[in-house]
Amino acid sequence: MSNFFEGKTAVVTGGSGVLCSCFCRALAERGARVAVVGTRLETAGAVSDEISSSGGIAMPVACNVQDINSVREAEKQICDAFGPADILINGAGIAPASACTTKERADEQSLAASPEEERTLFNLPSEVFREVMDLNCIGMFNVTQVFSQKMAGIEGANILNISSMSGISPLTKQIAYSASKAAVANLTQWLSIHLAGVGIRVNAIAPGFFLTRINRHLLLNEDGSNSPRAQKIIDGTPMNRMGSPDELTGAMLYLCDSSASSFVTGVILPVDGGFSAYCGV
């Protein structure tokens, strides 16, 4: 394995999660010092221990991206141990069932349904919507604001955000998540323009469908078989399957490696088996 991230510090929020833990391992395998950031120290520690036991350099960091003081504390901890970030990956995100409508399309019943009968546009509490926007979008803003200050002027410094297919066109049921990921895509473009002034590239990956904790409630039946929604996704994916988490790694390595993508900024790269190219006909 080549060491093209040797001497670089990579900070990965959501690093304790399914998709971004793959990023942490891949960056460490290529020589980066990796700060694995997650809500719980134990889960971040499990990823960081695995990296250390295979000879890599990593540290676990507990942080709530919604809380600016927690983000500042995490930045200090990481900077003291590893120095300022060369690479920041904003992967922390949620897509709770409580922020999804029960049905794809409203019908007569939806108009008067109680939340116990059906979650609808008409009875979804705004607090639930706000929580998803706050974590997925404002959380990304908080982390970028705090970390990018010291990244300014570092050669090859770059930020990678994790958007989603639902940020390109909204997924049914996922009302709040879709809006939050569209905001992430837009914020990525805004930041790429603004931070070009201080030499920081900013890009995003828009993953298609990967079975993880975040979407199990929508994609699997209780017996573990594919839900009708999962089948619909597979039917809408020209490659006729969901992705495996390590299939995102190549896109991440390309966008984070400034010797490969030094003139690439403001890009939202779909990694989706063709889902976003296919209109269904």
Ligand X SMILES: NC(=O)c1ccc[n+]([C@@H]2O[C@H](COP(=O)([O-])OP(=O)(O)OC[C@H]3O[C@@H](n4cnc5c(N)ncnc54)[C@H](O)[C@@H]3O)[C@@H](O)[C@H]2O)c1
Q: Is 177 a catalytic residue?
A: yes
**Strand ranges for the chain from DSSP E:** 9-13, 33-38, 57-62, 87-90, 158-162, 201-207, 268-271
Query: CA-to-CA distance for 93 and 91, rounded, in angstroms?
Result: 6
The answer to the question of residue 174 lying near ligand X (CB under 6 A) is no
> Which distant-in-sequence residues (6+ apart) come within 8 Å of 182 by Cβ?
163, 166, 167, 168, 170
Query: CA-to-CA distance for 134 and 176, rounded, in angstroms?
Result: 10
Q: Which of 23, 82, 147, 177 is catalytic?
A: 177
The answer to the question of residue 142 lying near ligand X (CB under 6 A) is no
By CB under 6 A, name the one of 59, 100, 162, 179 that touches ligand X: 162
Closer Cβ to ligand X, 5 or 275, answer by number: 275
Closer Cβ to ligand X, 113 or 271, answer by number: 271
Which range binds ligand X by CB under 6 A, 8-16, 26-34, 98-106, 222-230?
8-16
What are the CA-CA distances from residue 63 to residues 12, 13, 29, 44, 143 (Å)?
11, 9, 24, 10, 10
- 219 closest CA partner among 206, 236, 234: 234
The answer to the question of residue 178 lying near ligand X (CB under 6 A) is no
The answer to the question of residue 215 lying near ligand X (CB under 6 A) is yes
Site string for ligand X, 91-130 (x = CB under 6 A): xxxxx-----------------------------------
By CB under 6 A, name the one of 60, 207, 270, 273 that touches ligand X: 207
Query: CA-to-CA distance for 165 and 271, rounded, in angstroms?
Result: 9
- 163 closest CA partner among 133, 204, 208: 204
The answer to the question of residue 210 lying near ligand X (CB under 6 A) is yes
Closer Cβ to ligand X, 60 or 156, answer by number: 60
Q: In a 3-state reduction of DSSP, which class is residue 124?
A: coil
Rounded to a whole number of angstroms, the minimum distance from the CB of residue 185 to ligand X is: 11
The answer to the question of residue 214 lying near ligand X (CB under 6 A) is yes
The answer to the question of residue 17 lying near ligand X (CB under 6 A) is yes
Which range binds ligand X by CB under 6 A, 149-157, 204-212, 231-239, 249-257?
204-212
Site for ligand X in 28-87 (CB under 6 A): 38-39, 63-66
Structure tokens at 82: 């590893």
Closer Cβ to ligand X, 36 or 195, answer by number: 36
Output the residue with the shortest Cβ distance to ligand X: 17
Contacts of 50-53 spanning 24+ positions with Cβ under 8 A: 50/25, 51/24, 51/25
The answer to the question of residue 271 lying near ligand X (CB under 6 A) is no
Q: How is 5-34 classified by DSSP, letter by letter?
A: TTT-EEEEETTTSHHHHHHHHHHHHTT-EE
Q: In a 3-state reduction of DSSP, which class is residue 277?
A: helix
The answer to the question of residue 236 lying near ligand X (CB under 6 A) is no
- Catalytic sites, residue numbers: 177
Residues that bind ligand X (CB under 6 A): 13-14, 16-20, 38-39, 63-66, 91-95, 135, 139, 162, 164, 207, 209-210, 212-215
